[in-house]
Amino acid sequence: MNQEVESVGPENASSRCGFVAIVGRPNVGKSTLLNALLGRKVSIVSPKPQTTRHRILGILNRDNLQIVFVDTPGLHSNERRAMNRYMNRAARASLADADVNLFVVEALTWTDEDQRVLEYLKNCGRTIVLIVNKVDTIYPKERLLPYMLEMQHKTQFAAIVPLSGLKRDGLEQLPALLAQYLPESPPHFPVEQYTDRSELFRATEIIREKLTWRLNQELPYGITVQIERFEAQEGRLVINAIIWVERAGQKAIVIGQGGERLKEIGRASRLEIKAMFRKPVHLELWVKVKENWSDSEAALRQLGFE
């Protein structure tokens, strides 16, 4: 391994590579920011908290620079269910390992949960860059100034960057800024790679995203998706997936009047999976009940939460 590094040659002497964890309480726009930075969707997004359940890598490749972003489930205080404990573990493991922690907050907002995330980050002792996100919602922009000043007193941030992940505004300088804090190193991943996740995982997540958008506020946490069949067949992709819910009543909600909601979820999922893999897709969805899966460590493991 060392030998390989040495044989790369002097033109790569100043190449940098490292890990940047994107952290913050749920719903501040972490996954949206990651997708905006990469210019493609690697992590699903929804208006509901706790959409991101896993640690997902998004890899940005530039000349002599590879930034491995780690999208994390939001750190949250409620550890009542096994699912929530799993998500917090996934988030914490990522921050401790990162070269830089990108701490995302919502412009003009500071909650107890933000404070708790900050305390945790301070303990990690890594470089912290503060992202003041969603500035597209603030008029006039001068209203940000006192807030930015207040943020400077929270701790020693390496930088404070106002931006809008949704509008892709203010992102241009961010990779170069982060590069300063990354070690000199050749790329960890092949430079054409932009995520560590398999096609099957990404298809699973897209189905879950479409579900999340079409369901009521309470329901999404009790839902997960498991793909049972994922096969290339005569130039098309054949996918069979199960939507697991926790109660029979939830099953009826997911299916909807005359099966309309499930049909719509299937249609939207199929279109996006087709666009992502540039192949026709045949998708079949079933809804099944597994009681209290999100509170059972065993069920979580069975459903792929390591």
Q: Is 266 in the site for ligand GDP (CB under 6 A)?
A: no
Least distance CB 21 / Mg ion (angstroms): 13
- Token pair of 179, please? 């590069």
Question: Which of residues 58 and 74 has its CB atom nearest to ligand GDP in the complex?
Answer: 74
Least distance CB 42 / Mg ion (angstroms): 11
CA 111-113-118 angle, to 5 degrees, is 100
Q: Is 72 in the site for Mg ion (CB under 5 A)?
A: no
Q: Is 133 in the site for ligand GDP (CB under 6 A)?
A: yes
Question: Using CB under 5 A, which residues numbered 7 to 66 contact Mg ion?
Answer: 30-31, 52
- Token pair of 28, please? 């501040």
Least distance CB 29 / ligand GDP (angstroms): 3
SS (H, E, C) 118-157: HHHHHHHCCEEEEEEECHHHCCCHHHHHHHHHHHHCCCCC
Alpha-carbon distance of 204 to 227, in angstroms, equals 6
- Measured between its terminal Cα atoms, the distance across the chain in Å is 28
Q: Is 137 in the site for ligand GDP (CB under 6 A)?
A: yes
Please name the residue ranges forming H helices in the chain: 2-6, 30-38, 82-97, 112-124, 144-152, 174-179, 199-214, 248-255, 260-277, 297-302
Residue 28 interacts with which of ligand GDP, Mg ion, none, CB < 5 to 8 Å by class: ligand GDP
Residue 47 interacts with which of ligand GDP, Mg ion, none, CB < 5 to 8 Å by class: ligand GDP
Q: Is 28 in the site for ligand GDP (CB under 6 A)?
A: yes
Alpha-carbon distance of 116 to 141, in angstroms, equals 27
Among residues 17, 38, 45, 118, the one that binds ligand GDP under rule CB under 6 A: 45
Residue 84 interacts with which of ligand GDP, Mg ion, none, CB < 5 to 8 Å by class: none
The residue ranges that bind Mg ion (CB under 5 A) are 30-31, 52
The residue ranges that bind ligand GDP (CB under 6 A) are 24, 26-32, 45-47, 51-52, 74, 133-134, 136-137, 164-166
